[in-house]
Amino acid sequence: MDEIALLEGLLKIYSPTGQEAEAVDYLVAQMGLAGFEAFVDEAGNAVGVLGSGPEHVLPHGGTTRSEAEGLVLSEAEGPVMLLGHIDTVPGFIPVHREGDRLSGRGAVDAKGPLACFVAAAGRAAGEHAGSPQQRRPLIVVGAVGEEGDSRGARYLIDKHRPAFTIIGEPSGWEKITLGYKGSAWFEYRVKRTLAHTSARQESACEAAVGFWNRVTAWAGEQNTGAQKVFEQVSPTLREMTSDSDGFVESARLGFGVRIPPGLSVEALEAALRSLLAGTSTSHMAGAELTRLDGVNAYRGEKSTPLVRAFLMAIRKAGGAPGFTIKSGTSDMNLVAPAWGTPILAYGPGDSSLDHTPEENILISEYQQAITVLTEVLNLLTSA
């Protein structure tokens, strides 16, 4: 397998959320050429399987693709799940290579980590080809929709019970990510009867601004004493619109809130609804708050065989391992509580370049991460 060509080919296919099919077909074809049992599942995810467990079953659920749904392997027999995502945020970046630097949309978030998964799984399987040892199966998934509603990961939850899960997100080759903040998205709408500006009556726009000010003030109160960003409530205003039909004016806000461990999506929503009224019940007239989506924060444990395997592998490669937690959100937030498996996120790339016009990855770091992950998979899958 040409590991650099694999990544470069993946970057050349523009695949923003909702337009992943061409990239999925490419990845499935490349995994098939590398010896994976590769296919597109019903959610549109690219899936590649290497190895088999007891009774020679495919870890995606059966002895044939048609029998694949519903099989749950025990933790002792379960596969290693390498869950990356193949979609990107919008904004095509021309793919070009300059020395050690490869630029393109998704180079960091998260086609670089996904290609690393495929390459490392292929290396690990190749190093043990023909071995009589019974080895734990590997599943590599290029999930769709992670930058949107995570429909790819949601589909997987009831289809798999892995023994270990590695999420494909940039951490840098020497670090592993143990947790992500939660997030929730809301829409606020308010209406007011039109009045002359001299009437000193609150307008819809003023009501919306007032609500947003109460949200930020509430977040500030919650963050008292919280020194780290991971522990703070972080609201972000993303959209503002207003309209009028000559009789009634309306205003709309679209906003998100990053939430720390200890604050659930439901508790956040209840707190925001209490702010609708402000200091007077008259403020509540014509105001509506709708939660569009939400997922709770998650932080994994350090004392697991998965973490120990990474620490050993990074040190063996000459690195100084470290831990990080992220203020964003990933598919880890969804699958970790559902699977109850040792879990972490790993992948090459500088996460500060996520979603930026300068997104790029160092090929040397990409290759170093492949070496580390190959060693991890050998440790996890050995009999």
The 3-state DSSP class for residue 67 equals: helix
- Which one from 146, 331, 350, 359 is the annotated catalytic residue? 146
- CB atoms inside a 10 Å sphere around CB 71: 18
The 3-state DSSP class for residue 383 equals: coil
| Inter-residue contact 10 to 27 (CB < 8 Å) | yes
Integer angstrom CA distances of residue 146 from 12, 89, 94, 370: 19, 9, 22, 22
- CB atoms inside a 10 Å sphere around CB 37: 18
- Residue identified by tokens 């050998």 is 378
Contacts of 105 (CB under 8 A, 6+ apart): 11, 14, 88, 89, 91, 92, 93, 359
Backbone region of residue 223 per phi and psi (left: phi > 0; alpha: psi in -120 to 50; beta: other values): alpha
Contacts of 181 (CB under 8 A, 6+ apart): 230, 234, 258, 259, 260, 261, 297, 326, 327, 328, 329
Q: How far apart are CA 88 and CA 85, in angstroms?
A: 8
If residue 50 lies in a helix (H) or strand (E), which one and from where to where? Answer: strand 46-50
Helix ranges (H only) for 15-110 are 21-33
- Which one from 37, 41, 87, 375 is the annotated catalytic residue? 87
Structural tokens at position 146: 């992670």
The 3-state DSSP class for residue 264 equals: coil
Task: Based on the residue annotation, tell me whether 146 is a catalytic residue of this protein.
Answer: yes
- CB atoms inside a 10 Å sphere around CB 158: 11
Task: Based on the residue annotation, tell me whether 359 is a catalytic residue of this protein.
Answer: no
Q: How far apart are CA 312 and CA 237, in angstroms?
A: 42
| Inter-residue contact 309 to 344 (CB < 8 Å) | no
The 3-state DSSP class for residue 69 equals: coil
Catalytic residues: 87, 146
